[in-house]
Structure 1
Amino acid sequence: MKRLFRACGIIIGLFVVAVALGTLVPRPLFGPGSDDAPKSRRILVLSNPIHTDIAVPLDDVVLRTFGFLLDDGMPLDAPEVKYLVFGRGSREFYIATPTWDQLKPMPLLKGLTLDRAAMHIDVAGPIPEPHPEVNGFDVGEREFGAMLAFIKDSFYEDAEGPLIIPGVGYGSFDKFYEADGYFTALVGCNTWTARALREAGITTGMWNPLPVTLRWSLELHN
């Protein structure tokens, strides 16, 4: 039993060290470099205790890129909609756990081990800043386009386009879609957010599996 406790302590210690180094070491290592282009686009990172999303302001460029969402019934043309919100996560855990009181053992197990990935898309009105759960960043047009392309490529598509997961959602307007690839807790929703932000020219930590470490790395390196 003592050996088991010792082994668990070593594993926990290694995880803590890895998370600390993943926060402190920047990615890319030497930053994105200087860019004199105007940073005319503002994107937002929305956080809760276990998950992060990216909110992009809804305009003609975003509508052209994600027009299939309008075709699938999302109210992108409603005047009160100001942001499109993207997140990626474990398919089973994401769909089955809209709130903590609906947590179930099997979806949690899938989310902690290996699962198909899913994209969750929602709309939002004005999002206030500053706010403890909102980090805002100004990026250039080229970087904004690169981030949108990365998000679009995160959807799994067949010959007809992205595949919606029918009949599931947290509310009246959000949608779930099949995502490209698989999900694990070590390379999960927050590491996807970090990768999308790097596409936008924002420096993150080397490895950010938790929302709090992603927030810390964003504040430290930017």
Structure 2
Amino acid sequence: MIPGPLSPVPADDDPTVEIRLVASPIHYDLLLPLTPRTRSRFLHLEQAGLPLGDPRAEWLAIGWGSRAFYTHEGPYRDVPAATLWRAVTGDDAVLRADVIGPLPVEFDSPVLTITPAQYSALLNAILKQLKLNADHDALPLPAPGFTDSDLFFAAKGRFHIFRTCNTWVSRTLRHAGIPFGAWTPTPYAVTLSHHWFHPG
């Protein structure tokens, strides 16, 4: 509920863009509309194998997390203690990207209505998190995904108990000039911060 610092973003009177936040029991992802601009900015992820060009794809899901924990195969209850300890104390970060088709009519998730300038800044903030090779290509990881279409990519930064996947969401939004809480370590903190800074 305490506002975090915002990056400056120029004012913009163009039509707004709607993005969403989508939650699992322990984790929030950003959900971005697969507009032509989104597809073009993430073209190198498509070249790495992410099916952005699938005509059924309407949304791009992006999340950040601990490499060892996030890429663990199997349910959360089967995560080894050593993997959990590594995530708590410090681990390399990864980005997970997936494409999603039309959302069900009854789908309920937090919505953010932002300006085109904020959306451009948000795409920049996400792309800056990717580690790139000498040819400026994203680095897909040989890890099993959660779906038939998702991929993990090497990312910058370190994950630990005070710098979680959920704090990444708030940091990334604030880098785009979108008001959000200073520290959101849990899914409930993200939910509360959204309700506080973006009521209605």
Superposed pair shares fold, TM > 0.5: yes
2:98 counterpart of 1:106 = no
CA distance in structure 2 between the partners assigned to 1:110 and 1:97 by the alignment: 16
Question: Could you tell me which residue of structure 2 aligns to residue 96 of structure 1?
Answer: 72
Larger of the two Rg values belongs to structure: 1
Q: 1:36 to 1:158 in 2, by over 3 A?
A: closer
Q: Is the 8 A contact 1:117 1:178 kept in 2?
A: yes
Whether the aligned pair in 1 keeps the contact of 2:11 and 2:117 (CA below 8 Å) is no
Unaligned 5+ residue runs, structure 1? 1-23
Would the aligned equivalents of 2:45 and 2:138 in 1 still touch at CA under 8 Å? no
| Residue 54 of structure 1: aligned partner | 30
Q: Does 163-172 or 73-82 show the bigger shift?
A: 163-172
Answering whether residue 107 of structure 2 is matched by residue 150 of structure 1, we say no
The answer for the alignment partner of 1:80 in structure 2 is 56
Deviation, 1:148, is: 0.2
- Within a 5 Å distance, the mapping from 1:134-173 to structure 2 comes to 134-160=109-135, 161-173=137-149
Query: Displacement, 1:98?
Result: 5.0
The answer to whether the aligner puts 1:175 opposite 2:155 as a matched pair is no
Matching residue of 1:207: 183
Could you tell me the TM-score, scaled by structure 1's length?
A: 0.81
The answer on whether the counterparts of 1:32 and 1:202 sit within 8 Å (CA) in structure 2 is: no
SS of equivalent residue, structure 2 residue 113: strand
CA gap of 1:108–1:37, structure 2 versus 1, over 3 A, is same
Amino acid at match of 2:3: P
Distance 1:165 1:177 in 2: 6
CA distance in 2, matches of 1:137, 1:130: 18
Match of 2:172 among 193, 196, 206: 196
**Structure 1 residues 26-84: Cα deviation after superposition (integer angstroms, max 9, x where no partner):** 2248x989956245211111112211100101121111111112112222111111011
Letter in 2 for 1:158: N
Percent identity, aligned pairs only, is 31
Q: How many residues align?
A: 197
CA distance in structure 1 between the aligned counterparts of 2:88 and 2:126, rounded to whole angstroms: 23
Flag the structure with higher helix content. Answer: 1
| Counterpart secondary structure, 1:168 | coil
The 1:33/1:219 distance shift into structure 2, 3 A limit, reads: farther
CA distance in 2, matches of 1:218, 1:156: 29
Match of 2:18 among 29, 34, 42: 42
Structure 1 residues 217 and 39 mapped into 2: Cα distance closer, same or farther (>3 Å)? farther
2:41 matched to which residue of 1?
65
Where does structure 1 differ by over 6 angstroms across 4 or more consecutive aligned residues?
31-34
TM-score by length of 2: 0.89
CA contact 2:125–2:176 (8 Å) conserved in 1: no
- Find the residue that maps to 1:162 and give its secondary structure: coil
Per-residue CA shift, 1:154-192, capped at 9, x if unaligned?
011121221111243222110001001211120111111
